[in-house]
Structure 1
Amino acid sequence: LRLPTDRPRPPAQTFRGAREQLQLSDRSVERLKSLSRGENCTLFIVLLAAFQTLLSRYTGEKDLVVGTPIANRNRTELEGLIGLFVEMLALRCDLSGDLTFRELLGRVRDSVLGAYGHRDLPFEKLVEEVRPERNPRHTPLFQILFALHNTAHGESKLPGLTLRPLDVGTSTSKFDLAKHITEAGTALTSTIEYNSDLFDLSTILRLLRHYQNLLKMIAANPDQKVMTIPLLAEQERWQLLSEWNDTRSARPTGRALHELFEEQAERCPDRVAVVFGGEAVTYGELNDRAGLLAQYLKRMGVGPESLVGVCLRRSVEMVVGLLGILKAGGAYVPLDPAYPQQRLAFMLEDSRARVLLTEAGRAAGLPNVEMIRLDSDWDEIASASRAGGLCELSANNLAYVIYTSGSTGRPKGVAIEHRSAATLVEWAKDLFGSDRLSGTLACTSICFDLSVFELFVPLCSGGAVILVENALALGAADSAERVSLINTVPSVMAEMVRVESIPAAVRVVNLAGEPLTRRLVDEVYRQRGVREVYNLYGPSEDTTYSTYALVERDGREGPAIGRPVANTKIYIIDGNLGPAPIGVMGEVYLSGEGLARGYLNRPETTAERFIPDWMSERPGGRLYRTGDLARYRTNGEIEYIGRLDHQIKLRGFRIELGEIEAALIRHSAVREAAVILREEQAGRKRLVAYVVCEEGHGADPGELRRDLGVSLPEHMLPSAYVTLEALPLTPTGKVDRRALPEPDPAKSAVKSEYVAPRNDIERSIASVWQAILRLEKVGINDNFFDLGGHSLLLVQVNRKLRELFNRDLSMVEMFEHPTVGALAAHISRQRAQQPSFQHRY
């Protein structure tokens, strides 16, 4: 059971532990006892069902197994015997469906009674028969214990002796969690013994309170749906929804982007605004040129809500074009000249842009739109009248439309209003200040929303935009020493660190768009001059950035994505649309002033992703469903976990691919990693890992698998490892998982040096493995699991070997002897010890 832990599970199970307890309300206890009598079950079943409900709410799992001890003195002749007869029962619970708690009680009662009917079966025998995946990191079948103690523990009198119970403190824990309920009269005491290597005290205290709240709510109304019974007390709910979302800022956000720029142009007209190559343009010059273009565009009919395409190489003219469109009242649609013609044509047609800003020779093959070539047409633009009235524009008008990849394969345009963009700008001005923004690197394509920060934040705060073709060109740029702030994605920053292209003048590094690793943060902090590293998170649908965190130097925890930016809110919502408790994973929902208007010309998609904000008191409030998974840390910061759509099921196991990727990146030879689920012949699925290595390093599939095996269970270990020079990226810089190549079996499989089978037993085993794993040859040193085997295929192997050797081989034996040679030697030893052993060749 994958409970949310405070620390990763150690490679081997530890038994360091502690205990905490909480008294349950007498009034609730009496109601729970009444409920048990009414439902023809015991108090134990009621308390167990409530605990299983809590575990399901914490993990999202609907099929749970919890252990419970049973005295097993079910015969009269055993009652007077001294000795330990306690046995463990594994209680399985099915919480699927839209159950009420009263309905769940019936299921739990049947499960418990069924288990009691097999109480004489030793637990060890059950494990042997079920053959669960064995892992030294945790106990088999269940990792959580539940017990009710309702026998008297008061004083006992013996001749000349009085016995009193003595509570002996313990610093051990046999399980991840052991929940003990002690009944004494009308009182119930709830105690948790927990593994302190996995859980913090604060987490356990929360779990105790949530169980107490759950029982209180069940006692009041057992007909509530189990997945919507409130867990949180009012104070915790207020903290999650209000206190940690109190981001109100006094700065006005009802402004247009170009108006914020114009304020700076009026305040400091002679200050440098944009630097590109050897060209430096002042605020005054940039404002004049953008104003000329704006008048020209207005005469062409551009105004509020008009969309204008921009297909220009990176240059000062590109910045002029964006500002000119905004000053005319229009909204820009960025089109990267490097994009395929088909994609550019689609974006122009889908946006219904009537005008396109481009340059000579750049627009061949594009739809029939009115084109303005800023190079060859500039004389005509500049000679036009400068006179013209101000454009009447509100903060609710469109500023730009950025296209993102869509799940259907067709890009969709995210429509951002001036109000939302101004919210981003004002927050950034407050956080970074004019000094840090004095030289902001602009290295991102304008088709990617990081460019909104790189261009408009400095231009609206009096700073200079240092424009380059790409981030890796910065080291050779004349303007490199003017850069004070770099804003880019982690994969690009990793390359900048590798080639040592970060100028000494850089003080702040913003990293966004991809999960950030502690290793990269440490490497960035080792660069001369860097004082602050920020981890930023946000989708285009919430105007670039939704949260931010200043990552501390030399920290131990993985970087958090932090807290919401000014005038916005973030919620971590569970599967039942309620706030997820601290530490519990949920989906990220966003609201506030940064939200996009929606998807351009896609009302159905907009309605699906932008939903009414049922937690807001403001009429018309909306929430954006990100599809991202995260959880709150105890300090109020948010930890990013992965994508909902990267969550897969393999052989019945639910797997977050991001967890495997994070484990791969921790390997010293791996710089980047991606993991996908591939479906191959006969519907067979397997995990495939793709890695990009650090310079001068290679990645041996066997070594990678062994390293992953230290921290991940067998079902999460990829069976193939493909080394690439670089991960394929989408036009916006994200990993393009659809473009990851098919693995080459000759290069990607985990292998050892081939040594041919030497005898009949080895040849028989190798032949079985070849057939089941679909391999051409298997040597005596090959490991079944390294070759792509897993527990389900092991069942097939075991069946074939049983037919060949006329004896049962347990799963434990197979795990202990995973190579052909080791298993053959084991069978040979068994054969020598058992003369009747037969080999059916």
Structure 2
Amino acid sequence: MFAPAAETFPLTAAQRDIWLDQISRGDSPLYNIGGYLQLTGPVDPANLHRALEQLVAAHESLRTVLMPGAGADGLPLQSYAAVMPLTLPLHDFSDHPEPTRAAQALVNDYMRRPYALDGSPLLDFRLIRLAQDQHWLVGQAHHLILDGWGFGQLFKSLGELYSALMAGECLELSAPGYRAFIADDAQYQASKSYSLDKAYWLEKYRELPEPLLVSRYHNRRATDPAPSHVRMKQFAERHNASAFHVLLAVLHAYFTRTAQRDEWIVGLPLLNRNGARFKATLGHFAQVSAVRMAFADGLDFGALVVEVGDALKRDFRHQRFPLSELNRSLELSREERAQLFEVSVSYELEDHDYCYGEAEAHTVKVSNGYEATPLAIHLRTNSYNDDAALHLVHHRAWIEDAEAQAIAGRLLHILEQGLESPTLKLQDFHISAPAEQLQIQAWNQTEKTAADEQLIHRRIEQQARIRPYAVAAVYQGQHLTYAQLNRQANALAQRLIYQGVRPDDRVAIVSRRSLETLVGLLAVLKAGAVYVPIDPSHPRERLHYLLSDSAPVVVLTLSTLIDRLPPLAMPLIELDHSADSQGADNNPQVAGLSSDNLVYVIYTSGSTGQPKGVMVEHRTLANLVDWHCDAFDVKAGSHTSSLAGFGFDAMAWEVWPTLCAGATLHLAPVQDSGEDIEAMLNWWRAQPLDVSFLPTPVAEYAFSQDEEHPTLRTLLIGGDRLRQFVHNRRYAVVNNYGPTETTVVATSGQILANGSLHIGGPIANTRVYVLDEQLQPMPVGVPGELYIGGAGVARGYLNQPQLTEERFVADAFSDVEQARMYRSGDLVRWNADGTLNYLGRNDDQVKIRGMRIELGEIEAMLASLEGVKDAVALVRDLQLLAWFTETSAVDTDALSPAMRARLPGYMVPRAFTRLASLPLTANGKLDRRALPDPDPAYLLGQAYEAPKSEVEIAMAAIWARVLGVERVGRHDNFFELGGHSLLAVNLVEQLRKAGLTADVHALLSQPTLAALAAWQNDAQAFKAPANLIPPGCARITPQMLSLVSLEQSAIDRIVASVPGGAANVQEIYPLAPLQEGILYHHLAAGDSDPYLLQPQFAFADVSRLNAFCDALQRVIERNDMLRTALFWEGLQTPVQVVWRQAPMLVQETALHDLFNAPRMDLTQAPLLHLVYAHDPANHRIAAVLRYHHVIMDHIALDVLSHELQAVLLGNEASLVAPVPYRN
């Protein structure tokens, strides 16, 4: 540490922002910058050292000394040491077997060592020898004293000084000192220009575009060679622009297309060295400008490049205004959106070639391994050969490694297209790289030759001829052979024809699963007509609508269901009283019937509240049959099942492939009181099935109960989103997806335990497209809307030509004339293996404060909280609101903090309203318009809870004064009350003046009043004597215990209770008084335990459960108390034992046993266990975190939740070091 000079200076605006961010991140190397010079030729280390000393003497910024807390409101000041000696250590790797690899490892390690901002030097150099004439001169500095441009100038000036010394000359360097820029910066902030610039930026961002990237989860680098830099510059010159404008135009084309939005924001680093005055001054000048990329629709690439240049020119006049001031003025929430942009772009001269005496030198930049921005794009050029390299540095919280590599390739492909075709419109660019396009085309090569016979009933007639006595169907002990099925269907078909039924006439079947119903379905087809299956359990009003809209010429039903029907104007035939075998051997011949005729109309839910009838033709059903029989080896002798509800399109999938193949169909019993899942599964297990379909929720329930099937070969699931699949079964599990409009199944694929819960790839003769709003393909991994083309696309909607035209659109990707594709409204993305991931409905997404959210995710999280039964979320009057029903009493004031611990702040509803039941429409759907308005008091914020302890009361008064608010409650969040980083420094300073312990890092990690007060109480605790038990200790002796006195025999008994023995014991010390009381009640309670707590959690799938457990284990490793066990047997006073390693117990159980907690063994750490169970009915994994109150209270639980969130988001470096409980 160096003594500061007498004269002191404030930090510039840019320096202040770096300092604030650095202290908020703790010991992070985020602001380490530097690299190395590759020196080829003779090097004199002594002269190099002298040149370095001359350089430091010439530039005062390199001698910066920070003075913590010396400025106003707790900010530091800076001064410049008169002399700052600098060493130049030499690392000799010339004898190393791999000198370059060893040198690179040293450099990388060196760049990751953080600086202390306590007045110590902020600059460091070292020399690495790889061979006699090969050296690396490594330089590193904190960004506070140097920027990227400055480093280039530093190496240039150092080379000049060194060369002069080698020539026996003396070189004088002259440049304005950094203090001149400090004065210039202060003058600007007090000027009219500052006010005008501020007004410009605030107007520009009066309304914020939504974020471009959404956090997912380290930082990595992807590098790709760029096309010749010469072509970029030539293109730019023709458009009166720069190569940088061309790069930004490429990014605009990519991000607007992939994010499907019109505008986005990019961060552009600026030199901020106005004029020539400070060009040679070393110091931190750089700033970042937030450029709003919003341009007119329909621009071609050349015009876009010009528009980008014009936009930058407009911004350039105001570029000096600090970005941090803009963030604060816009009141960006640190929790929701701490920065305006997620992507930064720089255009850099990568290689400066210098002469160091007789040695040639060129620079190599080195990353510190940390990247705060989700995606940083650097186009780095070489000044000698005009080549360029595109570097992408990304944070894995947002972008995975493979995705970054793919983005780089796509950007280069867009650039090539733009350079080749300047008049190409943005919407016409191919966003996917050529290899991706070919891969997607390959995944859609599903062509299979169609069978000769396309009429479904004729295939069944053929089975009746070939195997008349084979069993076609079984139902409750009765069966039909193929001959019987065919004869009975012939008889009924003749009756329908007699009634005047013709091709494409509709015949409604209001029925249930039964042999008679099966006969009726086949008879309708034989008559050339179209069956319309209708579930008799529908409300009378819906039955009336379905019969009215479908306008059947005949209605078929069972005699037991007639009373449920509305009055009918058309003939009615009772299926169970229509048996007539006369003339039944003759198959009806219907003239003009072809595969283009309709086979059925099935009604699905409509967005208007009224169902819509989907018209499916014989040829599309035949394609489903052919694919199914081939894919799942269904043939004569196979056994399948039918459990799907009548009127559900899956029933067609169960019935027709089986009968067309000559297999046996087992029909599940019908239950009048609704489907009993247990009874259904009991029946299912008893059938000798080879292939079977179960609706996804039923299958998930079977998985959760570990249900197996003795004969099943393949289980098909579908109809709902699969939430979890954690154990492989003895049979294959195939997930299927398909709207009714694409004939039941469009994609299909086998899933494996703990793998991707994908929906498979396209089935035979089907093509699937992931498209943007302009119907252009999206690259692999990028979400888009799913469109389905090929042989399965239905004719359209009955009686709704306008809706048909809207949803069934021309397939521009097909070579087939007049081919159509169906717009599903579902969001999906391609996986790298050719499967698709289902992401939800397109219309389930809304925006809150510019952030895109899915209401379903919020509803699922709210429903997972203890006591909550049903949950609904929606946006009303720009407010995110929630309603819920209960299974047990719920404290509405506790819901917001519980949600905040699990979701980002912008996804936490402003108000929660308790309902006795959810309002429903007449057709049984949720009536969102009938949800009552919330209590206005709740919209004002969380219920106020007054500070309790003396520390909380004192802190609350200071918070209120600094934030300018009337009062501060225990659970109020500093940043939600309007706090920001500058006010945080001011607050910490005021707390210190009041005799309270605090620092900015602690405030950032403990932002509520109660949490910060608890932290400060810990920080003020007495300084305990040092722990004397060394790591790896073979035996612990009494002299090693600094906080408790124990005999050797007692220590040995304690150690014997710890797995791993003495080597796994970190420390032993007494219980606190409160802990002694808890232990007393624990021992007195017998089999029960009043201090065992069980907060409830829910997870969408196994991967999220595993991530949670991994993060929780990391929190356990950070906190001594979470690795603590108790020991009391044979001791006068109980003690607590801190283990060095304490793996958390994670255990699966049955759902009904989830809360049946056994008594916890307090002698075995950690005293928190996670128990989970699969909950298929609610599409989740339910879990409880069992922990004992002896190690954690509710404040500690808040801290644990905060640390968990930080670890899960990859922000562990931002956490303040925990205070050991021993203190």
Q: Using structure 2 for the length normalisation, give the TM-score.
A: 0.57
Over residues 489-542 of structure 1, what are the superposed CA-to-partner deviations in whole Å (9 max), with x where a residue is unaligned?
Answer: 32233344556766444443222122212x2x226x4xxx64211111110010
The corresponding residue for 1:688 is 882
Instruction: Determine if contact 1:475/1:503 at 8 Å carries over to the other structure.
Output: no
- Choose which of 479, 491, 494 in structure 2 pairs with 1:295: 494
* Alpha-carbon shift at residue 48 of structure 1 (Å): 1.6
Cα separation, 2, equivalents of 1:193 and 1:332: 59
Of 323, 341, 346, the residue aligned with 2:522 is 323
CA distance in 1, matches of 2:442, 2:323: 48
SS state at 1:204 partner: helix
Question: Structure 1 residues 700, 482: CA separation in 2 closer, same or farther (over 3 Å shift)?
Answer: farther
Provide the rounded CA distance (Å) in 1 between the counterparts of 2:554 and 2:407: 59
Q: Structure 1 CA distance, aligned partners of 2:916 and 2:461?
A: 45
Partner of 1:830: none
Structure 2 match to 1:643? 841
**Aligned counterparts of 1:404 and 1:198: Cα–Cα separation in 2:** 37
The one-character-per-residue Cα deviations of 1:401-429 (angstroms, maximum 9, x if unpaired) are 00112222222110001111111111111
Q: Which of 211, 216, 230 does residue 9 from structure 1 map onto?
A: 216
Structure 2 partner of 1:18: 221
Q: Does the CA-based 8 Å contact 2:796-2:804 persist in structure 1?
A: yes
Match for residue 809 of structure 2?
A: 611
Partner of 1:537: 737
Query: Residue 246 of structure 1 aligns with which residue?
Result: 445
Is 1:489 the equivalent of 2:695?
yes
**CA shift for structure 1 position 115:** 3.6
Q: In structure 1, which of residues 122, 125, 142 is the aligned counterpart of residue 322 of structure 2?
A: 122
CA offsets, 1:524-564, max 9 Å, x none?
x4xxx642111111100100000011001332x3x111110
Pick from 866, 870, 874 the counterpart of residue 677 of structure 1.
Answer: 874
SS of equivalent to 1:349: helix
1:117, 1:817 → 2: CA distance?
Answer: 40
Distance 2:885 2:786 in 1: 28
Q: For residue 650 of structure 1, what is the amino acid of its counterpart?
A: I
Alpha-carbon distance in structure 2 between the residues aligned to 1:54 and 1:572 = 16
Identify the match of residue 444 of structure 1 among 630, 644, 649. Answer: 644
- Once the 2 structures are TM-superposed, how far is the Cα of residue 724 of structure 1 from its aligned partner? 10
Aligned to 2:474: 275
Q: 1:406 aligns with which of 603, 606, 625?
A: 606
CA contact (8 A) 1:359 1:373 kept: yes
Identity of counterpart residues, as a percentage? 30
Does the alignment pair 1:345 with 2:534? no
State the match for 1:802 in structure 2. none
Gaps of 5+ in 2: 1-209, 961-966, 984-999, 1016-1223
Output the amino acid matched with 2:698.
V
- Partner Cα separation in structure 1 for residue 831 and residue 377 of structure 2: 24
Alignment of 1:228 with 2:428, yes or no, is yes
* Cα distance in structure 1, aligned partners of 2:789 and 2:897: 43
Which among 266, 269, 281 is matched to residue 66 of structure 1?
A: 266
Q: Is the contact between residue 379 and residue 390 of structure 2 (CA under 8 Å) also seen in structure 1?
A: yes
Cα separation, 2, equivalents of 1:730 and 1:638: 34
**SS of aligned partner of 2:345:** strand
Deviation of residue 628 (structure 1)?
Answer: 1.2
Separation in 1, partners of 2:482, 2:243: 76
* Greater CA drift, 647-656 or 105-114: 105-114
CA shift at 1:248, angstroms? 1.2
Alignment correspondent of 1:157: 355
Q: Which amino acid aligns with 1:314?
A: R
Partner of 1:563: 761
Q: Matched residues in 2 for 1:86 and 1:817: separation?
A: 31
In 2, the alpha carbon distance for the partners of 1:731 and 1:566 equals 40
1:814 & 1:369 partners in 2: Cα distance? 76
Using the TM superposition, give the Cα deviation of residue 651 of structure 1 relative to its aligned residue in structure 2, in angstroms. 3.0
Separation of aligned partners in 2, 1:779 and 1:197? 33
Cα–Cα, structure 1 residues 707 and 615, in superposed 2: closer, same or farther, change >3 Å? farther
Provide, for residues 377-411 of structure 1, a one-character-per-residue CA deviation record: whole Å limited to 9, x for no partner: 325x4457655642242111111000112222222
Is the contact made by 2:376 and 2:394 (CA closer than 8 Å) also made in structure 1? yes
Contact kept? 2:414, 2:429, Cα under 8 Å: yes
* Offset at residue 145 of structure 1 (A): 1.2
- The alignment covers a number of residue pairs equal to 769
Q: CA deviation at 1:324?
A: 1.2
Q: Distance in 1 between matches of 2:743 and 2:642?
A: 17
- Aligned in 2, Cα 1:702/1:567: closer, same or farther, shift over 3 Å? farther
Change (3 A) 1:420 1:792: farther
Match of 1:216 in 2: 416
1:133 is aligned, of 319, 324, 333, to 333
Contact preservation (8 Å) 1:551, 1:560: yes
Q: Does 1:260 align with 2:459?
A: yes
Give the partner amino acid of 1:294. A
Aligned positions of 1:131-210 closer than 5 A: 131-135=331-335, 140-150=339-349, 153-159=351-357, 162-166=360-364, 168=366, 171-185=369-383, 186-196=386-396, 198-210=398-410
Letter in 2 for 1:554: N
Question: Match of 1:86?
Answer: 286
Distance 1:327 1:206, change over 3 A: same
Q: Does 1:522 align with 2:731?
A: no
- Note if contact 1:425-1:460 (Cα within 8 Å) is conserved in structure 2: yes
Matched residues in 1 for 2:540 and 2:907: separation?
40
CA distance in 2, matches of 1:453, 1:728: 34
Change (3 A) 1:65 1:482: same
RMSD: 4.4
Of 559-568 and 668-677, the range deviating more from structure 2? 668-677
Any conservation in 2 of the 1:631–1:638 contact (CA below 8 Å)? yes
Contact kept? 2:848, 2:878, Cα under 8 Å? no
Following TM superposition, by how much is the alpha carbon of 1:267 offset from its aligned partner in structure 2, in angstroms? 3.2
Residue in 2 aligned with 1:714? 905
Aligned residue for 2:633, secondary structure, equals helix
State how far apart, in whole Å, the 2-side matches of 1:461 and 1:108 are: 63
Judged with a 3 Å threshold, the aligned counterparts in structure 2 of structure 1 residues 222 and 378 are, in CA distance, closer, same or farther, namely same
1:32 positional shift: 2.3
Show the counterpart of 1:803: none
1:511 to 717, 726, 737: 717
Shift of 1:646: 1.4
Given residue 377 of structure 2, which amino acid in structure 1 is its aligned partner? K
The more displaced of 449-458 and 489-498 is 489-498
Instruction: Name the CA distance, whole Å, in 2 between partners of 1:783 and 1:360.
Output: 66
Q: Deviations over 1:76-106 (max 9, x none)?
A: 4422322222222222211463333444445
Asked whether the equivalents of residues 299 and 425 of structure 2 are also in contact (C-alpha less than 8 Å), the reply is: yes
Residue 460 of structure 1 aligns to a residue whose secondary structure is: helix
Q: Which amino acid aligns with 2:791?
A: E
Paired residues of 1:144 and 1:176 also in contact (CA < 8 A): yes
Distance 1:118 1:229, change over 3 A: same
| 1:593 has 2:791 as partner | yes
1:82–1:31 CA distance, 2 compared to 1 (3 A): closer
Cα distance change of structure 1 residues 455 and 728 upon mapping to structure 2, 3 Å threshold: farther
Alpha-carbon distance, 1:685 to partner: 3.1
The SS at the match of 1:78 is coil
Q: Contact 2:455–2:595 at 8 Å: present in 1 too? A: yes
- Provide the C-alpha distance between the structure 1 equivalents of 2:1011 and 2:676, rounded to a whole number of angstroms: 53
**What amino acid does structure 2 have at the position aligned with 1:493?**
A
Cα deviation 1:633-664 (Å, max 9, x = unaligned): 12221111121121222333332335556767
Letter in structure 2 aligned against 1:9: R
CA 1:722–1:70: 2 relative to 1, 3 Å: same
